């Protein structure tokens, strides 16, 4: 019996400690989910079938317990778990849409992250993987319609657009350090 009581008590304690989402976070999450819902049919039309499990996560800890660098806007696992950094995305919905499309593309393409990284894969990986995700995200955003600025973000990640590419970025590509979605 004690075997069960301790974990139950622990989980109750943890639940009590976790702060409930603020109204702003709840509203942001709803917008992110709406992006997923509006983009999914475009993925399906291209014959990609997958599920997505979204979360807002300011820390985006890696499997070793390190917080993701502040310029990472989101990441994804091949299994469909997508984490989005609220401080970067909740107030810029066009960028959020672009990042959601990019992360969904990683899931659709079943990109596998760094070896041995455990639950959450990191897309520090080779630029070709990022380019491939961007190309699919671009196609999907065009098909799905919606905010044109999201398409422009992705086009800039792909081709550059002047001296100051908008955030995403993949500092990995050797551009200037800018926020990235991995
Ligand atoms: Zn990526």
Give per-residue pLDDT as tens, 64-91.
898 988 778 999 988 899 999 999 999 9
Distance 137 CA to ligand 1 centre (A): 10
The H-or-E segment that residue 95 falls in is: helix 93-108
Distance 34 CA to ligand 1 centre (A): 20
CB atoms within 10 A of CB 125: 17
Distance 167 CA to ligand 1 centre (A): 12
Among candidate residues 16, 43, 24, the one with its CA nearest the CA of residue 109: 43
Of 18 and 167, the one with more pLDDT: 18
| Rounded distance between C-alpha atoms, residue 73 and residue 71, angstroms | 6
22 vs 49, 59, 61, 62, CA distance in Å?
32, 17, 21, 24
Token pair for residue 80?
């469909």
Which range, of 93-97, 136-140, 164-168, averages the lowest pLDDT? 164-168
Above 70 in pLDDT, residue 144?
yes
**CA triple 88-92-96, angle to 5 deg:** 75
pLDDT of residue 91: 95
3-state secondary structure of 73: strand
Distance 96 CA to ligand 1 centre (A): 13
Query: How does the average pLDDT of the chain come out, rounded?
Result: 80
- CB 75, CB 140: distance < 8 Å: no
Distance 66 CA to ligand 1 centre (A): 19
Distance 26 CA to ligand 1 centre (A): 25
pLDDT, one tens digit per residue, over 41-53 is 999 999 999 999 9
Query: How much is the pTM?
Result: 0.76
Instruction: Report the pLDDT averaged over residues 97-110.
Output: 95
């Amino acid at each position: 019996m004690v075997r069960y009581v301790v974990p139950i008590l622990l989980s109750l304690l943890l639940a009590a400690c976790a702060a409930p989402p603020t109204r702003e976070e709840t509203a942001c999450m709803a917008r992110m989910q709406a992006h997923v819902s509006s983009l999914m049919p475009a993925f399906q039309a291209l014959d990609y079938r997958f599920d997505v499990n979204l979360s807002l996560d300011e820390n985006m800890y890696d499997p070793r317990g390190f917080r993701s660098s502040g310029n990472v806007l989101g990441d994804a696992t091949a299994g469909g778990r997508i984490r989005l950094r609220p401080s970067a995305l909740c107030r810029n919905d066009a960028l959020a849409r672009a990042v959601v499309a990019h992360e969904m593309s990683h899931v659709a393409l079943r990109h596998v992250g760094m070896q041995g990284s455990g639950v959450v894969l990191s897309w520090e990986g080779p630029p070709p993987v990022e380019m491939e995700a961007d190309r699919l995200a671009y196609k999907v955003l065009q098909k799905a319609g919606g905010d044109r600025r999201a398409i422009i973000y992705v086009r800039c990640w792909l081709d550059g657009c002047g001296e100051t590419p908008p955030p995403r970025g993949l500092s990995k590509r050797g551009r200037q350090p800018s926020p990235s979605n991995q």
